[in-house]
C-alpha cells in the first residue's frame, strides 16, 4: 500500500494531463481498428445473407468454417497465397544478403563516393514506382521472359529486390553506424579479418535491425499491387493483392461476400502473426542499434 502511494506521489500529473489528448486519440484509433477487424473476422464466419441483414456478429446459424475451405480451394486463394509467400521470403532473404554487407561498408569505411552512394539511395527512395515500371515493362516484354511462368516469377522477385534495395541499405547503414566499433577493434586484435568480423560478429549483433527491416520489406512485398498488376498476368503468378482485387470484381457476379471476407482474413494473417511474435524486435530495431 505504501509503495502504491509513493508511486502515485512520484507521478508528474501536469505532464500526464498534457499527454491526455494524445492518449485519448490513440485509444479511439485502437478501438476503431479493433472494431473493423473484429467485424471482418465475424463476417468471414457468417453467410452472405447474414452480412447484408446486419447479423454478421450474432452468428444466428453458427460459425461457417466452410467459407475458409471454399476460399482456399475454389477461389485460387491458395495459389495466390503461395505465390506471395515465395515472392516475399525469397526477396527478403536476398535483400538481407545484398544490403547488409553494403550497408556495413557504407557505415564503417570512408572512401570516394561513399556520401554520393548514400545520397543516391536516399534519392531513389523518393522516386514513384509508376515512373519506372512502364519503361521496365517495355524492356522485360522485349526480352520475352513473361511467357514462361517461372521466368515471370523470377522477374517479379528481381523487381521487388531492386525497388527495396535503397530503403533496406539506408536503414541498415543507420543501424550499423550506431553499433560500437570496440567489437571490431577487439576482433582485429585477435587477428580476425574484416569479412569474417562482419559475418561472425557484426551481422549477429545487428539481429534486431535485420529482423525489423525484413518485416517491413515482407509487409511491403506482401501487400504490393501495382508492379504485380503490370507484370503478373496469369493466375499462376499473381500474388494475393492482385488476386483479391480479381475476387472483389467477381463478387458482382457470384455474390459470395462471406468467402471474400474469409480470403481477406487468410491474406491478413501472415503479417499479423509476424508483428505479434516479433513486435519487440521491431521496436528495438526502430529505436536504434547497440551502443557501447
The Cα–Cα gap between 223 and 226 comes to 10
Residues 6+ apart with CB under 8 A from 6: none
Half-sphere exposure of 71 toward its Cβ, with a 13 Å CA cutoff?
Answer: 28
The Cα–Cα gap between 48 and 242 comes to 23
Q: Given its phi and psi angles, is residue 239 left (phi above 0), alpha (psi -120 to 50 degrees) or beta? A: beta
Q: Please choose, from the candidates 94, 114, 112, 113, the residue with its C-alpha nearest in 3D space to the C-alpha of residue 104.
A: 114
44 within 8 A of 258, measured Cβ to Cβ: yes
How does DSSP assign 65-121, residue by residue? THHHHHHHHHSSHHHHHHHHHHHHHHHHHHHHHHHHHHHHHHHH---TTHHHHHHHH
247 within 8 A of 75, measured Cβ to Cβ: yes
pLDDT tens series, the chain, 292 aa: 555 455 555 556 666 677 778 888 989 998 998 888 889 888 888 888 888 888 777 777 778 888 888 888 877 788 899 999 999 999 999 999 999 999 999 999 888 989 999 999 999 988 888 888 888 888 888 888 788 888 889 999 999 999 999 999 999 998 898 888 888 888 888 888 888 889 998 999 888 889 889 989 999 999 898 899 888 878 889 998 888 888 777 776 777 788 888 888 888 888 888 877 776 666 665 655 544 4
Residues 6+ apart with CB under 8 A from 133: 226, 227, 230
> What pLDDT does residue 292 have?
46
- Give the domains, in start order, of the chain with CATH numbers: 13-65 (no CATH), 75-287 (1.10.3720.10)
| % helix, strand, coil for the chain, step of 5 | 80, 0, 20
Please name the helix (run of DSSP H) or strand (run of DSSP E) that holds residue 25, with its range, or none: helix 13-44
Distances (CA, A) of 114 to 106, 109, 283: 6, 8, 28
DSSP strand E in the chain: where?
none
Residues 6+ apart with CB under 8 A from 81: 72, 240, 266, 267
Amino acid at each position: 500500500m505504501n509503495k502504491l502511494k509513493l508511486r502515485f506521489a512520484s507521478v508528474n500529473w501536469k505532464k500526464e494531463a498534457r499527454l491526455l489528448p494524445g492518449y485519448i486519440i490513440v485509444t479511439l484509433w485502437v478501438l476503431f481498428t479493433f472494431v473493423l477487424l473484429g467485424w471482418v473476422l465475424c463476417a468471414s464466419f457468417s453467410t452472405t445473407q447474414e452480412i447484408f441483414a446486419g447479423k454478421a456478429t450474432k452468428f444466428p446459424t453458427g460459425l461457417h468454417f466452410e467459407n475458409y475451405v471454399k476460399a482456399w480451394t475454389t477461389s485460387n486463394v491458395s495459389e495466390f497465397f503461395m505465390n506471395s509467400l515465395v515472392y516475399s521470403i525469397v526477396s527478403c532473404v536476398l535483400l538481407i544478403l545484398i544490403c547488409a554487407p553494403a550497408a556495413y561498408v557504407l557505415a564503417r569505411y570512408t572512401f570516394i563516393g561513399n556520401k554520393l552512394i548514400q545520397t543516391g539511395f536516399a534519392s531513389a527512395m523518393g522516386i514513384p514506382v509508376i515512373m519506372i515500371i512502364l519503361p521496365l515493362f517495355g524492356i522485360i516484354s522485349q526480352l520475352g521472359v513473361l511467357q514462361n511462368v517461372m521466368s515471370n516469377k523470377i522477374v517479379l522477385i528481381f523487381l521487388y529486390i531492386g525497388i527495396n534495395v535503397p530503403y533496406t541499405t539506408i536503414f541498415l547503414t543507420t543501424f550499423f553506424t550506431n553499433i560500437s566499433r570496440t567489437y571490431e577493434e577487439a576482433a582485429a586484435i585477435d587477428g580476425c579479418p574484416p569479412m569474417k568480423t562482419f559475418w561472425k560478429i557484426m551481422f549477429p549483433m545487428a539481429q534486431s535491425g535485420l529482423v525489423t527491416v525484413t518485416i517491413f520489406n515482407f509487409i511491403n512485398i506482401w501487400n504490393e499491387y501495382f508492379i504485380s498488376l503490370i507484370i503478373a498476368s496469369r493466375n499462376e503468378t499473381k500474388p494475393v493483392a492482385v488476386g483479391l482485387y480479381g475476387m472483389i470484381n467477381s463478387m458482382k457476379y457470384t455474390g459470395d461476400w462471406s468467402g471474400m471476407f474469409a480470403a481477406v482474413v487468410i491474406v491478413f494473417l501472415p503479417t499479423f502473426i509476424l508483428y505479434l511474435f516479433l513486435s519487440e524486435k521491431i521496436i528495438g530495431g526502430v529505436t536504434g542499434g547497440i551502443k557501447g
